[in-house]
Structure 1
Amino acid sequence: MYLTDRSAPPADTGPGRRRGPRPRIAPVVLVLGTVSLITDISSEMVTAVLPLYLVTTLGFSPLAFGTLDGVYNGVSALVQLTGGHLADRVRDHKLLAGLGYGLSALCKPLLLLAGSLGALGTVLALERTGKGLRTAPRDAMISLSTPVAHQGRAFGVHRAMDTAGAMLGPLAAFLILSAAADGYDAVFGVSACVAVLGVLVLVLFVPGRRAAAGGGVGDAVAPGPGGGTGPGLSGTTGTGPAAQAAGDGSRPPVRVREALALLRLPRLRALAGCAALLGLTTVSDAFVYLLLQRRAGVGAEWFTLLPLGTAVVFLLLAVPMGALADRIGRHVVFLAGHLGLLLAYALLLWAPDTALLVPLVLALHGTFYAATDGVLPAALAGVVPERLRASGLAIVGTSQALARFCCSLGIGAAWTLWGDGPALAGSALGLLCCAAVAGLVLRPDRPDRRTDNRPS
């Protein structure tokens, strides 16, 4: 089993053929990218200051911070399943995405009032609930508006725009902390205003269910024998009877049983299992930045700029990595990204303290995200039927996020008991073993080299 197929038609890949024009990115992808850009400015303003705010200002222990960081990632994982299923059931991805963005925006001002572990945990849980509701419907809109062969490029474009916001957020936080007397409160307040702007762009410019009806890619299909998909995922605009049925609402609502039946698809099980396995040893961004600050002696005033370095690399490489994944196989790029993260761990553990340590670690960290964040959902295009696309995305995303939740709890406890070095060394060793297992599970084999999006 492997992550997905190289689905470029033979006519475009022969040695004597000229390469066709670069595929056009659907307008909905660009609008959703704009929404994500604005929302990520808001979110990353908070994320950039939160570790230092909790550990140095409020005096949280690494274990307490690990618990909160786990909540920050774990709650959205559980809610993703609900958001994905509801989006497929009501056949209105924009509605669920809007509810998620709106809830996250409402939570930003509440950070001004939360000063205890319980209050902060509640606010962060609600904010992540919003993220969980919106992630699968948003990615489903991107996937359904893009041909199967170009999913990697489309998700790369969206992730690049999303990361532009992730790059601007820490910079805005840095400027606010430098200029404002009560810097953290100012960061949380400005973040709330920016989040509201993102919701407005979604409501005004992303087409709703009626406008988008019938505009997906390929006919809606059911899982075929052996876990594959039948005809219809050919990368052309859906104009057949199945697509029209999906557009006019004649199909019955998606039931929970149908969504759970996706787990019978071998490739989806492989994706979900490997995403979870690798997530168990993927140290969260906040811990990476805290470790880098301690290892390289980065001053507290510069801490908020560390995510900016990751975001710059992610922004530059998201589209090239997505296009590369479409050409050489998404499993290859996905696993290579985790090996880059493993190298970043090694540098944090054993590299000498030089001026190059910070840029090298941040470059590898950004490369990891460029090679994995958009590639994983792109891999599902040829595996999951259209009418269950959000549910399939939610299953894989939830498996990964729950694993990262457990990793945050584990590394927080290990840091408290044994120190930061042994905690990271354990994660690095685990990542090496998990990457080896994932490489065996996701490797291509001869019988499956045919594309999923052609009639079998």
Structure 2
Amino acid sequence: MSHPVNDHEQIIKPNPLNKNIVGLGANSFFTDFSTEMILPLLPIFLERFLHATKTQIGLIEGLAELSVALLIALSGFYSDRLGRRKGIVVFGYGLSNLIKPLAFFAQSAGMVAMIRIGDRLAKGIRVAPRDALISASTPNGTSGFVFGFHKMMDGAGALAGSLATFALLWALGESEETFRTIFALSLIPGLISMAILVFVITDAPFTPSPAKQFRPDALPAAFYTLVFFQTLFSLFAMNYSFMILKAGDNGVALAMIPLAYALYNLTQAFFAIPIGRLADRFGKATLLAFVYLAFGLGAIAMAWGGVWGAWIGFGIYGFFAGGFNALAKAIISDTAPQELKATAYGVYYTSVGLATLASLVMAGWLWDRFGSTVPFWVAGISAAVLAAILYACRKRFILADQRNNVPS
């Protein structure tokens, strides 16, 4: 016969939104606030005022992503050897938030490239140990929700930044001086993010990895399956810069582009947590396949042309962004050993970053040679095909799902 459970015997589920998770989310909110005051304007600034070609813009963005790839694995491995995370994270965020506003002084595409590369190098330093710190602060069975929450805070900060940029453009006009003023003002939310990181976040020390060099067989097969799919997808995808340029090509007024970008950030923030919750319930690989498909549909909408195609494309692209890296990070959180988590995140970002460099350079070349529509059709069809393949192969991720008692 059953009997009541007293207060001491009750099982209390841990709260996934603890101080570290909320604090790291707030830090990301203000960092993305700062970043997204700049990023929606940067491709336009390069094209209109610094007279860069699409190939040059693609090369700049590709080199920026390569910069992340060059440092992220090293930073993750060093963090695992050190046994601590916070110091590296603080240094990476601090460097990034001081470099980005230097776009105010840029007089050439080369100067913008150096600023973008410096910012991305700083991201390469911080991302793997930050994600490992999030993972260490995440209760079992909630990784999809927690990384979804973090992505939601990213998206909310990005939404605030792009809306601020829209308001400033609307009030001050579309001159080069306005662009530079916005770049300078981005320093303010960056400093707020640093204060949160320094004074709110606590480290999560652990026994460091004894390995003197990385052994590939130390990470499970599910991890490498994830890296394979994400890298292959990244070879065909493209980032925000070409979406922004295509919106202008489709007829969206310059002052309205930050608002369209705000729609992307709004849908990203809105769907991030639901995607994470559904992933915890139905399987992360399954949701990742739907995210791939969403990107494909968004790219096809942009390729179809017209102002409405651009707005629809930005909205769908936000859904994709709400899940792409968050789901991958949740799978890594579930599969990688604690002492190798930052290393695993580093390997993942390095592979995706190298693929992104190739993708962006090729997208720029295709645009300059064949027009704006071709790279979007290539990206859209490729993403849809890869989504179907990933869905068919989703059981390869069963290790990640079983650890959280999630059906495949």
Q: What TM-score do you get using the length of structure 2 for normalisation?
A: 0.89
1:277 matches 2:235: no
Aligned to 2:179: 184
For residues 38 and 48 of structure 1, the distance between their equivalents in structure 2, rounded to whole angstroms, comes to 16
The question of whether the paired residues in 2 share the 8 Å contact of 1:335 and 1:439 is answered with yes
For residues 334 and 389 of structure 2, the distance between their equivalents in structure 1, rounded to whole angstroms, comes to 23
AA at the equivalent of 2:131: D
- The offset of 1:204, in angstroms, is 1.0
- The offset of 1:426, in angstroms, is 2.1
1:152 matches 2:104: no
**One of 46, 51, 54 as aligned partner of 2:43:** 51
- Please give the per-residue CA displacement for 1:28-72, whole angstroms capped at 9, x wherever unaligned: 110000000010011111101101101111111111111111122
SS in 2 for 1:373: helix
AA at the equivalent of 1:379: I
State how many pairs are aligned: 391
AA at the equivalent of 1:388: L
The question of whether the paired residues in 2 share the 8 Å contact of 1:88 and 1:254 is answered with no
- Please give the per-residue CA displacement for 1:380-435, whole angstroms capped at 9, x wherever unaligned: 12211001111111211222222122111110011111111122222223323333
The question of whether the paired residues in 2 share the 8 Å contact of 1:152 and 1:322 is answered with yes
For residues 274 and 30 of structure 1, the distance between their equivalents in structure 2, rounded to whole angstroms, comes to 30
- Please give the per-residue CA displacement for 1:293-338, whole angstroms capped at 9, x wherever unaligned: 322x111111222220011111111111100000000001111011
AA at the equivalent of 1:255: K
1:128 matches 2:99: no
The question of whether the paired residues in 2 share the 8 Å contact of 1:65 and 1:412 is answered with yes
The question of whether the paired residues in 1 share the 8 Å contact of 2:303 and 2:309 is answered with no
Aligned to 1:138: 130
The within-5 A match list for 1:27-426 is: 27-180=19-172, 182-208=177-203, 212-213=204-205, 246=206, 253-258=210-215, 260-263=216-219, 265-295=220-250, 297-350=251-304, 353=306, 356-426=308-378
Assess, with a 3 A threshold, how the Cα gap between structure 1 residues 173 and 372 changes in structure 2: closer, same or farther.
same
For residues 24 and 257 of structure 1, the distance between their equivalents in structure 2, rounded to whole angstroms, comes to 31
Q: For structure 1, list consecutive stretches of 5 or more residues without a partner in the other structure.
A: 1-19, 214-245
- The offset of 1:286, in angstroms, is 1.4
AA at the equivalent of 2:339: R
User: Sequence identity of aligned pairs in percent?
Assistant: 26
For residues 44 and 36 of structure 1, the distance between their equivalents in structure 2, rounded to whole angstroms, comes to 12
For residues 176 and 385 of structure 1, the distance between their equivalents in structure 2, rounded to whole angstroms, comes to 46
Assess, with a 3 A threshold, how the Cα gap between structure 1 residues 339 and 414 changes in structure 2: closer, same or farther.
same
For residues 388 and 369 of structure 1, the distance between their equivalents in structure 2, rounded to whole angstroms, comes to 26
- Please give the per-residue CA displacement for 1:238-281, whole angstroms capped at 9, x wherever unaligned: xxxxxxxx3xx5x56542234x4445x21111011111001111
The question of whether the paired residues in 2 share the 8 Å contact of 1:87 and 1:93 is answered with yes
AA at the equivalent of 1:451: Q
SS in 1 for 2:364: helix
AA at the equivalent of 2:74: T
- The offset of 1:453, in angstroms, is 6.5
Assess, with a 3 A threshold, how the Cα gap between structure 1 residues 387 and 72 changes in structure 2: closer, same or farther.
same
Assess, with a 3 A threshold, how the Cα gap between structure 1 residues 262 and 121 changes in structure 2: closer, same or farther.
farther
**Higher deviation after alignment, 358-367 or 50-59:** 358-367
More helix by share: 2
- Please give the per-residue CA displacement for 1:77-124, whole angstroms capped at 9, x wherever unaligned: 221112211211112211111111011122123222222232221221
For residues 87 and 270 of structure 1, the distance between their equivalents in structure 2, rounded to whole angstroms, comes to 24
For residues 65 and 303 of structure 1, the distance between their equivalents in structure 2, rounded to whole angstroms, comes to 17
Deviating runs (4+, > 4 A) in structure 1? 20-23, 251-254, 447-450
Q: What TM-score do you get using the length of structure 1 for normalisation?
A: 0.80
AA at the equivalent of 1:317: F
For residues 332 and 254 of structure 2, the distance between their equivalents in structure 1, rounded to whole angstroms, comes to 41
For residues 404 and 278 of structure 2, the distance between their equivalents in structure 1, rounded to whole angstroms, comes to 19
- Please give the per-residue CA displacement for 1:117-141, whole angstroms capped at 9, x wherever unaligned: 3222122111101111111111111
SS in 2 for 1:42: helix
Assess, with a 3 A threshold, how the Cα gap between structure 1 residues 329 and 363 changes in structure 2: closer, same or farther.
same
- The offset of 1:175, in angstroms, is 2.3
Aligned to 2:402: 451
Q: For structure 2, list consecutive stretches of 5 or more residues without a partner in the other structure.
A: 1-11
SS in 2 for 1:25: coil
